[in-house]
Amino acid sequence: MECLHEDTEGVRIIRLAGRMDIEGNDEIALRFNTLTGTGGPSIIVDLAGVELFGARSNVLSALQRTNVTDFIPTYDTLDEARARVSG
């Protein structure tokens, strides 16, 4: 699992890539928690490069089944997410 970030226009964008499973989560947990804890009020997490059990389409479904989307909104594109955190 890979965890990269960039800070631009007052927004921290965290890009995750790789297989999201127990091992992948363990690889990035500390870095991800640090980046989200120090990133300021607006953070976007880009999941476009994430595989969950080999199928990207399952990422959103998994987030919805675990009710993560109830408190972390999801968007289809970076532009949609930027518009939300900017306005």
Model confidence pLDDT, tens digit, residues 35-82: 999 878 899 999 888 877 545 677 778 878 888 778 778 888 888 888
Give the domains, in start order, of the chain with CATH numbers. Answer: 2-76 (3.30.750.24)
> Is residue 61 helix, strand or coil?
helix
**Selection from 5, 2, 39 nearest residue 18 by Cα:** 2
Q: What is the pLDDT of residue 51?
A: 72
Model confidence pLDDT, tens digit, residues 22-39: 777 888 889 999 999 987
Q: What is the pLDDT of residue 59?
A: 77
Please answer whether residues 46 and 78 qualify as being in contact, where contact means their C-beta atoms are separated by less than 8 angstroms: yes
Q: What is the pLDDT of residue 80?
A: 87
Q: How confident is the model at residue 6 (pLDDT cuts 50, 70, 90)?
A: very high
